[in-house]
């Protein structure tokens, strides 16, 4: 199984399918609670995807309750349940990575990332990760190394089987701040220049002298290869982050990203600007 296969995406798809089948059966949550003798909380957690590893027997009970007799539909839903119970590679780094975010990212076909204050994580070099980790008050060398290892593993998985499109726009200030760390600056910029040559990667810098509409903070828009999987906007917070799936909210962030692209240097202007920084 590919490391970019995502149980997170399958779990969300399972939740959508279960809600659809309940609506087709013309049953409310209370109707299902009464029929199954489950708590409303348990049913709600299964439908919302909060139950991380739903049991196949539980899903089979719901299919029986909804009177789903078509063997093809039953097996498709049960397969989604089995797939959602798999463990992604990121589980071993769950103390330093957001499992839900990396789970979505793992299967995204298009990733659009705006960063206000740092280099996008998918292109950070180990020296840069170590520097910003220590700046974020991660003091124990073992903890710092764990953050570095998780970041590098994330990059390896993504770029071994890359998405169709990775579009990274960020404020040049993230690099300007590295002038007091010339070795890190040179290594990081060299990585950006190298990555810009990849066919699926587009990098744009917003010059630090330009006003832009991205001061509200960083975000990532993720689209998926299957039309049954809705796009997601991830807003980073101090905890796990905020995930937006409402069509209007996603559209609003797409417009914002388009404006940021227009504000930034063109891709063909960005690489020369990067070269100037380490000339």
Three-class DSSP category at 232: strand
Every domain of the chain and the residues it spans: 7-84, 89-277
Q: Contact, 45 vs 89, CB < 8 A?
A: no
Q: What is the mean pLDDT of residues 175-200?
A: 97
CB–CB of 39/33 below 8 Å?
yes
Please name the residue that has the structure tokens 């990775």.
166
Contacting residues for 182 by C-beta, under 8 A, at least 6 apart:
none
**46 closest CA partner among 34, 35, 32:** 32
Query: Which letter, b or e, does each residue of 210-239 get, where b requires 16 or more Cβ atoms within 10 Å of its Cβ?
Result: eebebeeebbbbbbbeeeebebbbbebeee
Measured in residues, the chain has a length of 279
Instruction: State the Cα–Cα distance between residues 92 and 73, nearest whole angstrom.
Output: 33
pLDDT tens digits along 32-77? 999 999 999 999 888 887 776 889 999 999 999 999 999 999 999 9
The topology (CATH level 3) of 89-277 is: Endonuclease; Chain A (3.30.870)
- Rounded to whole angstroms, the Cα distance separating 19 from 273 reads 50
Name which CATH class applies to 7-84: mainly alpha
Express each pLDDT in 90-109 by its tens digit. Answer: 888 988 888 889 999 999 99
Query: Measured between alpha carbons, how far is 21 from 26 in angstroms, rounded to an integer?
Result: 9
- The encoded tokens of residue 264 equal 């930034």
Whole-prediction pTM:
0.87
Q: What percent of the chain has pLDDT over 90?
A: 77
């Amino acid at each position: 199984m590919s490391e970019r296969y995502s149980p997170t995406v399958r779990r969300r798809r399972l939740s959508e399918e279960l809600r659809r089948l309940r609506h087709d059966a013309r049953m409310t949550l209370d109707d299902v609670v009464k029929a199954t003798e489950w708590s409303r909380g348990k049913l709600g957690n299964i439908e919302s995807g909060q139950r991380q590893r739903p049991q196949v027997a539980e899903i089979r009970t719901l299919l029986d309750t909804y009177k789903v007799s078509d063997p093809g539909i039953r097996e498709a839903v049960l397969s989604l349940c089995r797939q959602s119970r798999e463990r992604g590679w990121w589980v071993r780094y769950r103390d330093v990575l957001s499992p839900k975010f990396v789970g979505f990212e793992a299967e995204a076909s298009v990733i659009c990332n705006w960063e206000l204050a740092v280099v996008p994580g998918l292109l950070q070099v180990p020296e840069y990760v170590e520097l910003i980790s220590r700046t974020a008050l991660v003091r124990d060398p073992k903890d710092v190394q764990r953050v570095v290892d998780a970041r590098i593993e994330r990059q390896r998985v993504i770029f071994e089987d890359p998405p169709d499109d990775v579009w990274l726009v960020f404020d040049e200030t993230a690099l300007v701040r590295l002038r007091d760390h010339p070795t890190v600056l040179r290594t990081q910029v060299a990585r950006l220049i190298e990555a810009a040559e990849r066919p699926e990667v587009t990098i744009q810098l917003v010059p630090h002298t330009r006003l832009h509409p991205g001061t509200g903070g960083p975000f990532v828009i993720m689209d998926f290869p299957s039309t049954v999987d809705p796009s997601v906007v991830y807003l980073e917070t101090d905890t796990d982050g905020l995930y937006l799936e409402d069509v209007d909210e996603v559209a609003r962030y797409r417009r914002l990203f388009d404006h940021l692209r227009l504000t930034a240097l063109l891709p063909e202007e960005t690489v020369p600007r990067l070269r100037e920084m380490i000339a």
